[in-house]
Amino acid sequence: KNQVEQSPQSLIILEGKNCTLQCNYTVSPFSNLRWYKQDTGRGPVSLTIMTFSENTKSNGRYTATLDADTKQSSLHITASQLSDSASYICVVPFDNTDKLIFGTGTRLQVFP
Amino acid sequence: DAGVIQSPRHEVTEMGQEVTLRCKPISGHDYLFWYRQTMMRGLELLIYFNNNVPIDDSGMPEDRFSAKMPNASFSTLKIQPSEPRDSAVYFCASSLVLAGGPYEQYFGPGTRLTVT
């Protein structure tokens, strides 16, 4: 079954700390993996798109890694800010189509 | 560009009523997607269009749901009759497919639907 699973479900950290979010997928064949950030009450916004040939990709304080062999990805947030409080969703296209399979997300809360 | 525009932002209706959600994609984008988001099931694809033509509607939950895209700048998602279990946030997204690489989907702000 094509699935995208994320952990942890929720995470609380203090401002300035680093954190890492995990994503495991069973979607096959694999073409790319995306991380989205969704603020409360808003639509998801793309952070990164990684193809199977990319191991690491950065977008400011966000760094995504991908291991296509183990079908795992992680999103590392450095020096967290209050504005990082949001849900982070891992997404994989289904069977090289335009259909995206979404993980259930990790809810991150950053406190001062 | 103003991004993907959805209306209304909030809709409260009684069970049995017809509900119409509207979406204006980003100008020039040739794909349009309708999603539903709930706490229990997360984000789910309902239907998507390419050049105004429905490509895959396998995610539409039942016959009460219908979607149209009469032109490149407008799409509607209609629920008739509505039921309490349809309460969710409905997102519209659009994208432009470019040769050689994965494309990005741009999401609208969503419509929060409450059916009482």
B5-47: pLDDT as tens digits: 999 999 999 999 999 999 999 999 999 999 999 988 899 999 9
Question: Using 50, 70 and 90 to split pLDDT, how confident is the model at A98?
Answer: confident
- pLDDT for B101 beyond 80: no
Which pLDDT value is given to residue A97?
A: 73
- Please choose, from the candidates B47, B93, B51, B101, the residue with its C-alpha nearest in 3D space to the C-alpha of residue B72: B51
Query: What is the pLDDT averaged over residues A92-105?
Result: 84
The shortest C-alpha distance from B69 to chain A (Å) reads: 18
CA gap A12, A29 in Å, rounded: 34
Question: Using 50, 70 and 90 to split pLDDT, how confident is the model at A94?
Answer: confident
Q: Are A99 and B109 a contacting pair at CB < 8 A?
A: no
Contacts of A105 in chain B (CB under 8 A): 42
Q: Report which secondary-structure segment, H or E, holds A4.
A: strand A4-7
- pLDDT for B102 beyond 80: no
| HEC string for B6-60 | EECCEEEECCCCCEEEEEECCCCCCEEEEEEEECCCEEEEEEEEECCEEEECCCC
Which pLDDT value is given to residue A92?
A: 92
Q: Are A43 and B48 a contacting pair at CB < 8 A?
A: no
